[in-house]
Amino acid sequence: MTDFRRIVLTGASSGIGAALAAELAGPDREILLVGRNAARLEAVGDLLRMKGTRVDTATLSVTDTDGMARLLADYDALGPVDLVIANAGISGGLSGRDRPEPEGLGRAQVETNLLGVLNTVEPLLEPMMARKAGRFVLISSMAAIRPQPDLPSYSASKAGVRAYGIALRGWLRPLGVGVTVVCPGFVTSPMSARHGGFKPFEMSAERAARIILSGARRGRSSVIFPLPLALLAWGANLLPPAISERLERVFAARIEPG
């Protein structure tokens, strides 16, 4: 089982990101926390420092291609990164059953959720390949397995993350670099709180973080949880669309943008 020492974590200021940071903390760890909310990011950093972790923080959006490239290149130059968790993401959804997503929200989700992952991964690809070591953990979603009618752009962006991660994994495995693609279901977080509909098998961010990191440390290719929801998602893909979509519309909900 691999124990990671120098880590990059995006979307670290709340939700799964903050829980992952807490789970990774320790006196032998060095962690770069990246997020958009400076106050919350520093609060997470302070908690990690209390556990003896060496912490750097960067208030930066993952959509900033040049900024991310400089930040990650500089951090890796000071010491080889062996774990990258591309977790930053935003949610969205329909304004109502007969109303589309607010203008620009769909593009914002693709830019953050998908292009933000590329901005997190690409600057560290060549250094990790040269060392033949390290692991990327890409946080996708159960919505990538079964896209949801009330989350069209979110589903598309996370499906892109899943596809990118699967392809990246096949390319990098022979080169000594690992990739873990994570598809969580509903996890208690500010993002999840904006979903007003049915949230089956919802779990705490702390439990989700433990599951994700256990999979990464074991070198798992994919981590999909919770299993009952995954079975429902896979099963829905086997049904005729007219039936599966009718069932999904029953549970579809208005999403508060954020």
Fold of 6-255: Rossmann fold (3.40.50)
Contact 183, 162 (CB under 8 A): yes
By annotation, the residues acting in catalysis are: 154
Domain boundaries, the chain: 6-255
pLDDT per residue as tens digits for the range 83-129: 999 999 998 876 556 677 888 999 999 999 999 999 999 999 999 99
Total residues found in the chain within this entry: 258
d(CA 24, CA 29): 8
Phi, then psi, of 33 in degrees rounded to 5? -100, 125
Other CB atoms within a 10 A radius of the CB of residue 73 amount to 13
At residue 56, does pLDDT exceed 60?
yes
Q: What is the identity of the amino acid at 96?
A: G
Asked if 57 and 79 count as a contact pair (C-beta separation under 8 A), the reply is no
- Three-class secondary structure of residue 6 per DSSP: strand
Q: What is the mean pLDDT of residues 210-214?
A: 98
